[in-house]
Amino acid sequence: MPGTPDAFLTRTRFVRVLSALALLLVAAMLGSALVGAEPIHLGRALFGGAADNLDRVILLRIRLPRVLLAVLVGGAGGMASLLLVPAGAFAGALLAMGLVYRLGSVHGRLQPYMFLLAGVVTNAFAGALIMTLNAVADFFQAQGILFWLLGSLQTQSYGLVAASAVYLVIGVLWLMRHTRAFNVLTLGEEGAAQLGIDVAQTRRSAFVVSSLLVGASVSVSGMIGFVGLIVPHVTRLLIGPDYRLLLPAAVLTGATFLLLADTVARSAFGATEIPVGVVTALCGGPFFIYLLRREGGRGVE
Amino acid sequence: MSSEPLIALRGVGFSYGAAPVLRDITCQIAGGELVGIIGPNGSGKSTLLKIVSAYLSPNAGEVRIAGEAVARFSRAALGRWIGVVPQETAVTFPFTVMEMVLFGRTPHLRGFGFEGAADLAAARRALERTDALHLAARRITTLSGGERQRVILARALAQEPRILLLDEPAAFLDIRHAVDMYDLLRDLLADGMTIMSVLHDLNLAALYCDRVVLLDRGAIAQVGTPAEVMTYATLTAVYGTEVYVAMNDITGALNVLPLSRPHRERLRAQFRHPESTDGNSSP
């Protein structure tokens, strides 16, 4: 643990941590908007004449929507995975969600292990369906499927950005109301119930909202892996396990992480873009192994 | 205390699926009592506690608290009436002790927000009561078993409940920490708390409880003071093994000790030929 932790969450600490993370995100957004295959000049883009202002076109039409989308998708991914929910694409999300929920419930109660296994199995099944589609698709469609599977934030419109923003904001506000209950739920179902939590209703809320968030972000950006793996763990290590701070903090760190990854993805190889999912997976793979080794070494409590 | 019992169970029955766990449990607990629940493994002790805390709903009968059926309480209202100390608490994440104790304020709070001065004061009082205030900034994951159990008790006290339910709170504690725990519970009685505790250790039950409820295969075998209930004949019959029961000269409470097979066989032989009986007296 870095430094001495506060004994409990105060308003001061809440504001201070979130401000610092927000500042970091804004700095990353500014930096990312200026970086790319074509170097642009911020002053000229903002204050130069409207006519033939290529810098402005690149900034407002290409870079900015992409930056915003990376922020939204990363934010949603960082937060939703905090609540341990397996992903599925939006159209399929509702279906998969219902399926996993039913399979993961015994006697009408959501059982964590059954839930996890149901998620893994549904994921494998959906994966087989995707491969079938891929096999029967023509060359160009297959290329699109490949990019979607690897995850990409290419060529997005402001309309899509606005729609994603609505999802994220409503989702965050909805979940924030339950963060105290999420804290208490870490004590287990019985412990939480005895502290006055309606366990079934809280679980349902977390499940539905985070599934919708993941579904929405997967449908606009494809499967960007590992954001949900790295972000919650690192954020928890840095600021502690209180969900009231952890949840909004994970939105900000998730956004920053995906933005940086996407900036690398579209600028590291000049004009050739690599899928952002490749960058996140290259960071996430080794990190996952590190986590597994560490947990294995510590033993399961 | 008032004439009305604080906790009243009437004809409570419960089954997991087809297997009955509790049958026709009727008993009353007055305010300010420490009542022990004893009985062999699988006799339904923990289940009884979960029914009183309304985590499980009985299939038959009902539980009343202060005259009101628990089924009619909201979860939060129950959290303000009843604090629960489980046998063991899973600590998945490294919350600090203060955070853990503040969880006890949950039934008093709503929605998103930060704990106020009253909540912090309640948490500090609870930690002081359990002699754990010096641990406040420690991570719960770094505590010893005895320290952790004191913190969990502090969490229950931070709820400011009138009833405490404990499921073998001393199961994983050494003899000193065990007596510290029960001494503290006796102190809480003086403040007006009412306590039900499941105990495996019959000596602790005899030493600390005002009354004990002895369960046998899901039904009440006997209810009464430890001296009334914990006799050689009753314990031997319910637990299915001969035990040594004697009065402790220092405490005036009963001592119950296990006997190995050669001793049990000798005892059985003596009871078949009672002329040579000595020591372990049957009432």
**Chain B nearest CA to A22, separation (Å):** 20
Q: How far apart are CA B102 and CA B156, in angstroms?
A: 10
Residue A147 clears pLDDT 80, i.e. is over it: no
**Chain A nearest CA to B192, separation (Å):** 21
Q: What global pTM score does this model have?
A: 0.80
At B43, is the pLDDT very low, low, confident or very high (cuts 50, 70, 90)?
very high
Task: Taking residues B180-205, report their average pLDDT.
Answer: 95
- A→B interface, C-beta within 8 Å: 1, 4-11, 14, 176-177, 179-181, 183-184, 186-188, 190-191, 193-198, 236, 240-242, 244, 301
| Better-scored residue on pLDDT, A167 or A28 | A28
At A296, is the pLDDT very low, low, confident or very high (cuts 50, 70, 90)?
very low
- pLDDT (tens digit, 9 = 90+) per residue, B125-142? 999 999 999 999 999 989
Cα–Cα distance list, A248 to A21, A125, A270 (Å): 10, 33, 34
**Token pair of B178 as six digits:** 């065990």
For chain B, which domains are there? 7-230 (3.40.50.300), 231-283 (no CATH)
Q: Which of A119-133, A269-283, B36-50 has the lowest average pLDDT? A: A119-133
Q: Which of A27-41, A201-215, A258-272 has the lowest average pLDDT? A: A201-215
Nearest to A196 among B79, B97, B111 (CB): B79
Q: How far apart are CA B80 and CA B179, in angstroms?
A: 27
Which of B95, B124, B135, B166 has the most A C-beta neighbours within 10 Å, making it the best mutation to test the interface with A? B95
Task: Taking residues A161-171, report their average pLDDT.
Answer: 87
Residue A93 clears pLDDT 60, i.e. is over it: no
Task: Taking residues B196-216, report their average pLDDT.
Answer: 96
Residue A149 clears pLDDT 70, i.e. is over it: no
Q: Which of A94-98, A239-243, B66-70 has the lowest average pLDDT? A: A94-98
B93/A236 Cβ within 8 A: yes
Task: Taking residues B166-193, report their average pLDDT.
Answer: 92
Task: Taking residues B196-217, report their average pLDDT.
Answer: 96
Q: Report chain B's terminal Cα–Cα distance, integer Å.
A: 33
Residue A112 clears pLDDT 70, i.e. is over it: no
Q: How far apart are CA B227 and CA B253, in angstroms?
A: 7
Query: What is the pLDDT at residue A87?
Result: 32
Task: Taking residues B157-161, report their average pLDDT.
Answer: 97
Check if the beta carbon of residue B214 is closer than 8 Å to that of residue B222: yes
> Domain segments of chain A: what residues?
16-28+37-296
Chain B residue with CA closest to A12: the answer is: B114
Residue A215 clears pLDDT 60, i.e. is over it: yes
| Residues sharing a CB contact under 8 Å with residue A49, sequence separation 6 or more, in sequence order | none
Nearest to B99 among A8, A177, A188 (CB): A8
Query: What is the pLDDT at residue A99?
Result: 63
Over pLDDT 90: what percentage of chain A? 19
**Chain A nearest CA to B277, separation (Å):** 49
| Residues sharing a CB contact under 8 Å with residue A8, sequence separation 6 or more, in sequence order | A242, B96, B98, B99, B102, B115, B120
Query: What is the pLDDT at residue A230?
Result: 80
Query: What is the pLDDT at residue B172?
Result: 83
Query: What is the pLDDT at residue A297?
Result: 42
Longest dimension (CA), chain A: 67
Size of interface A-B (CB pairs under 8 A): 93
Nearest to B94 among A10, A183, A241 (CB): A241
At A119, is the pLDDT very low, low, confident or very high (cuts 50, 70, 90)?
low
Partners of residue A10 in chain B, C-beta under 8 Å: 114
Residue A84 clears pLDDT 70, i.e. is over it: no
- pLDDT (tens digit, 9 = 90+) per residue, B5-25? 999 999 999 998 888 999 999
Residue A194 clears pLDDT 80, i.e. is over it: yes
Residue A124 clears pLDDT 80, i.e. is over it: no
B91/A301 Cβ within 8 A: yes
Nearest to A10 among B79, B92, B114 (CB): B114
Q: Where are the alpha helices (DSSP H) in chain B?
A: 45-52, 75-81, 97-102, 117-129, 145-158, 175-190, 202-208, 226-229, 232-239, 261-272
**Token pair of A199 as six digits:** 């366990």
Query: What is the pLDDT at residue A78?
Result: 82
A14/B114 Cβ within 8 A: yes
Over pLDDT 70: what percentage of chain A? 75
Rg, C-alpha atoms of chain B: 20
| Better-scored residue on pLDDT, B273 or A110 | B273
Which of A4, A83, A173, A180 has the most B C-beta neighbours within 10 Å, making it the best mutation to test the interface with B? A180
Question: What angle separates helix A64-80 from helix A199-221, to the nearest 10 degrees?
Answer: 150
Report DSSP letters for A212-235, one per residue: HHHHHHHHHH----SHHHHHHHHH
Prediction ipTM score: 0.84
| Better-scored residue on pLDDT, B70 or A61 | B70
B90/A301 Cβ within 8 A: yes
Partners of residue B96 in chain A, C-beta under 8 Å: 5-8, 240
Indicate if the alpha-carbon torsion angle B69, B75, B78, B83 is positive or negative: positive
Residue B152 clears pLDDT 90, i.e. is over it: yes
Check if the beta carbon of residue B221 is closer than 8 Å to that of residue B39: yes
Average pLDDT, chain B: 91
Strands of the B34-38 sheet, one edge to the other: B82-85, B163-167, B194-198, B34-38, B211-216, B219-224
- pLDDT (tens digit, 9 = 90+) per residue, B84-107? 998 877 777 889 999 999 999 999
Q: Is B124 on the interface with A (CB under 8 A)?
A: no
Task: Taking residues A120-136, report their average pLDDT.
Answer: 73
**Token pair of A103 as six digits:** 């399979």
Task: Taking residues B225-251, report their average pLDDT.
Answer: 94
Q: Which of A49-53, A137-141, B54-58 has the highest mean pLDDT?
A: B54-58
Q: Which of A81-90, A206-215, B132-141 has the highest mean pLDDT?
A: B132-141
**Token pair of B125 as six digits:** 């009082």
Query: What is the pLDDT at residue A228?
Result: 75
Residue B211 clears pLDDT 80, i.e. is over it: yes
Check if the beta carbon of residue A273 is closer than 8 Å to that of residue A154: yes
Query: What is the pLDDT at residue B29?
Result: 96
Partners of residue B94 in chain A, C-beta under 8 Å: 1, 240-241
Nearest to B89 among A1, A8, A191 (CB): A191
**Token pair of B96 as six digits:** 């600090």
- Superfamily the domain A16-28+37-296 falls into: ABC transporter involved in vitamin B12 uptake, BtuC (1.10.3470.10)
Q: Is B280 on the interface with A (CB under 8 A)?
A: no
What is residue B165's three-state secondary structure?
strand
